[in-house]
Amino acid sequence: MVDETVIDAYAADGAVCLRGVLDAAWLDLLREGVAANMADPSEYSCEYTPDGAPGRFWDDYCNWQRIPQYRSVLFDSPLGEVAAALMQSTTARLFHEHVLVKEAGTTEVTPWHHDQPYYCVDGDQNISLWVALDPVSADTAPRFVAGSHRGPMYVPRKFVSHEPYPFDGYDPVPDIDAEADQHRFLQWAVEPGDVVAFHMRTLHAASGSATRRRAFSARFVGDDATYAVRPAETSPPFPEVAAVLSHGEPLEHPTFTVVWPA
């Protein structure tokens, strides 16, 4: 499933699409888990759609320890092995899972951003595996700026207001849409079980959605991951990790379990 051509494309572009990674049984587990999660959200869940607006944009994360379907997929499915291969790492350590749901008719867009500045992790061996649980057309699928993972780190942006976080020393996210002719974009129509893999520094965005779009993102780090202190609270905050690790130390903590090798 992950040959040298795919590994090279991931290293060069910062995003690739893999077809049919998860079969129907894994997808059924994830759908059950998402339904349970939406019925019983965590303290981290967010609603991004204003009252009275159409659709619903909702997300939640860090629930794998209480939702057994998530745990089973993260620890027993092919995702960990795929992550390690693409990262070119001997290990795949679970960073966290993230569920994003846009119901039919949702108009809220996901602004241009990349993920690593939000996170308490440094290192180049990292990956997000975005698993489609519903068919997604190319025009509503996540859109990536090819090669942007080799650029600088930009200020994180709030999904509700699109305002920047109070991060000193980071560049603002460029106006990607205004300078579209300067970039090469990657975007794929996907079916359930397909996986879009992208580096935590790859710039990406997404439109609203006319149809239901549920996605499960599994985020992993590799051998070179270290703990990072950011200018403001990270998302997820991981307070139990911040209490014991210092900036630059290996990201070795029970919160971040090695899932590959099993």
How far apart CA 85 and CA 106 sit, in angstroms, is 35
Task: Name the band, by pLDDT with cuts 50, 70 and 90, for residue 185.
Answer: very high
Task: Name the band, by pLDDT with cuts 50, 70 and 90, for residue 190.
Answer: very high
Q: Does residue 1 register a pLDDT over 90?
A: no
Element (H, E) at 213: strand 213-221
What is the reported pLDDT for 262? 80
Task: Name the band, by pLDDT with cuts 50, 70 and 90, for residue 130.
Answer: very high
Task: Name the band, by pLDDT with cuts 50, 70 and 90, for residue 163.
Answer: confident
Q: In sequence order, what are the beta bridge partners of 94?
A: 220
- Take residue 143 and report the two structure tokens written for it: 């859109």
Q: Specify whether the CB–CB gap between 173 and 157 falls below 8 A.
A: yes
Of residues 98, 100, 110, 99, the one with CA closest to residue 208:
110
- The least confident of 84-93, 127-136, 159-168, 184-193 is 159-168
Arithmetic mean of pLDDT, 53-77:
98
pLDDT tens column, 27-54: 999 999 999 999 999 999 999 999 999 9
How far apart CA 210 and CA 41 sit, in angstroms, is 24
What is the reported pLDDT for 165? 86
Q: Does residue 155 register a pLDDT over 90?
A: yes
What is the reported pLDDT for 160? 81
Arithmetic mean of pLDDT, 64-69:
98
Task: Name the band, by pLDDT with cuts 50, 70 and 90, for residue 154.
Answer: very high
Report the chain's terminal Cα–Cα distance, integer Å. 19
Task: Name the band, by pLDDT with cuts 50, 70 and 90, for residue 159.
Answer: confident
How far apart CA 191 and CA 136 sit, in angstroms, is 6
Query: Is 227 strand, coil or helix?
Result: strand
What is the reported pLDDT for 35? 98
Arithmetic mean of pLDDT, 238-260:
97
Listed as own residue / partner, the contacts of 5-9 with beta carbons closer than 8 Å and 24 or more positions apart are 6/86, 7/85, 7/86, 7/88
What is the reported pLDDT for 51? 93
For residue 185, count CB atoms less than 10 angstroms from its CB and return exposed for 0-12, middle for 13-18, buried for 19 or more.
middle
Query: Is 205 strand, coil or helix?
Result: strand
Q: Does residue 173 register a pLDDT over 90?
A: yes
Task: Name the band, by pLDDT with cuts 50, 70 and 90, for residue 60.
Answer: very high
Phi/psi for 72 (5° steps) reads: -60, -45
Arithmetic mean of pLDDT, 89-111:
97
